[in-house]
Amino acid sequence: MRYITYMARKYTAVIQFDAESGSYVGFIPALPGTQSCAETLDELRANLREAIELMLETMVDEAFIN
């Protein structure tokens, strides 16, 4: 597990290496549906930060719409 900080909050990332595809896959358990994959760990961390940002924006938008 890794920790990813976004907007001063830490999120736990579960990261695994997929030997078949040769890439890393990861997801954020606290934010269901927040997941990504990449060829390197650095790229995966950046992708997960972006996925967190998009998920939080979506959650805020939906809260204002409903």
CB 33 within 8 A of CB 19: no
pLDDT > 80? residue 8: no
Instruction: Identify the domain containing residue 13 by its residue range.
Output: 2-65
Per-residue pLDDT at 52: 94
Number of domains forming the structure of the chain: 1
Per-residue pLDDT at 24: 98
The CATH number of whichever domain residue 25 belongs to comes to 3.30.160.250
Strand 2-6 versus strand 35-38 pairing type: unpaired
Segment 13-32 shows an average pLDDT of: 96
Write the DSSP string, 22-51. TEEEEE-TTSTT-EEEESSHHHHHHHHHHH
Residues in the chain: 66
Segment 38-62 shows an average pLDDT of: 93
